[in-house]
Structure 1
Amino acid sequence: MSQPKVLICANPKNGIVWSKAEQSSKLGAVAQVIEFSEPDRKSFFDACKPGAKYDGVVGIYRHNDSASAIGVFDKELIEALPESVKYICHNGAGYDQIDVEACTKRGIQVSHTPQAVDDATATVGAYLTISALRQFHRAEVNLRNGKWKAGLSPASDPEGKVVGIIGMGGIGSAMARRLLGFDMKIIYYNRKEISPRPDFPCTYISSLDDLLAQADVVSLNLPLNDKTKGSFGKREFGLMKQGSVLVNTARGAVVDEEAFIEALESGKLASAGIDVYPDEPNVNPKLVAMDNITLLPHMGTETRDTQKKMEILVLDNLISAVSGKGLLTQIPEQK
């Protein structure tokens, strides 16, 4: 009996980087592995036609970097996939590049990589928080330009400051634990209070408006979808404390960027720490010109350890699925 086909849909130059041995020994033991190689969307569509290269593929390992060649997994691409496809296993906690509704209509199950990304992303969030409060970016720019402390004003200590986490999932919880080490106070807003209660000191705030009014630092840790896109805008900034800080390690598009820039320019926000942008890799020049904010180029999971954990979780999902045991970390919309 022939093995089920699995497609590794990632940048041909990279593919699976940190877990090649596991790909060969574990996935290779239960599936016929095909490497993605098409240079453009049309070529990929042609390879998905009946009798072509990807006909019979059951599962797909998907990495965001494949979008540079074939684009995102939108409705058009989902509908072009071979009829045999039953699983798309995405390397990433966020899966806004996949049209979940189109997948569900076709009976395709989707998984992602929660937990695997929590620690690395939370570390970035904690760094952005401390850098924004202490103005470390501005100080480093000064030093590199030979200005030492010239023109620098005293910044703010993290101790005693209130961090309002919007979306206390795995990343938000890991970030909270890190910031508690700086003697910060944690409040959070979710649609529902976490039960059982988290095993660290924090307070649930049932109203987003109340959280915004209380927090010195607001951290965005929510997924990007139709409901959250552009949801943090002028009204929300207006409710925040004068001179507060915004930290975003979620997705750039959850924030109304013009309202964000206006809040920075007016002084409503004293600073910000940002790792994600609406039109990556492009960054608004107005943000780049501001030396009072810390900007990173989507560094959330840019560590060898975390990328290996993510790769292995995708492989484990594929192995479980093609072995008839179902997906391990199926996205919540399909549960």
Structure 2
Amino acid sequence: MQALPLLPYLAQQAQAKLPVDIWHYLQSDAGCGAQLQSNEAGWQIKKLIPRPLTALHHPNTQCTMFAEQWAHPIMLAPVAYQRLFHADGEIGTAVACNAQQGQMMVSSLASQSVNEIVKQAQQPLWFQLYWQGDRARTEVLLRKALAAGVSAIVFTVDAPVKQALIDLPKGISAVNLAQPLAMQALQAGQSQVFDGWMTQAPTWEDVAWLRQQVTIPLLIKGLMHEDDARRVVALGCDGIVVSNHGGRVLDGTPTVAAVLPEMVAAVAGQCKILVDSGIRSGQDVFKALAMGADAVCIGRPYVWGLAAEGAMGVAKVIRTLRDELEMTMALTGVSSLAEMRQVKLYV
């Protein structure tokens, strides 16, 4: 019998089923776990006031963005190598997402073909793009995603230095990449960071170039500084995903919940604002939307579901978060996502 709430229960089941190294890869952050915990706490310290007796007029959680309409604002963040966690992989996740009338971002490091993932999802999906070291290689991956029929590109810029690494088992790889990105041999006295990784990292000039290549919505993922938000708007991008990569890149950053209001103010409605990192409940979703986000992204929670129960587990996670969001709306007297913007949060 399940004694725990669903998400902790699925996390427990996932840990029991996964090899130790794969579980550690999924749960690791850039430090000793403190960033992951602070991400979660950042949402939890925000408090809500109940509003009983409020009449709800046609309550719903519908979310519309870039001419797409979903039943809820809970998106699935890009997670690499999902066949590490279950044989269903990204296809299972996509099928579950479609069944729950939502949207997902397919990772550049997906372990299944982006074309097949989109085909099995039976809906256009979003594609998360990693820079491939130069424009030519990046364009090859971009064109492959566009040919598969993706409806938005999410360019992740906050992980030029990789912290969470794993030796992949035989049969699992980033199948959509032409070939692994190889580092040039370092000379004596050169830096692995400055003369290695950072020579293949994107710049603002590359963002401007990418904007010219993409006619569908382009979002920039991994920004937390208001000046960067304003620069994204100036370059004509369509959205920002405010994120610290789930704590997996730079340890000791502010929580996403702490910087979200500044980012919302900086863009002043000129582009969409999404947010991830530390979302663990429907109440967290509500708080993010009340603070100005247009939608939220979850990562580890749906992978717990995938590892524990395959596609069905992913669907359970999405449905549970949506149920919790609806309960929070009912208890705070809110009928729609738009009305959440009027809700005051307390600390």
Tell whether the structures are fold-level matches, with TM greater than 0.5.
no
> Which structure's CA Rg is the greater one?
1
**Higher relative contact order, structure no. (Cα contacts within 8 Å, ≥ 6 residues apart):** 2
More strand by share: 1
More helix by share: 2
**TM-score, scaled relative to structure 1:** 0.27
**TM-score, scaled relative to structure 2:** 0.26
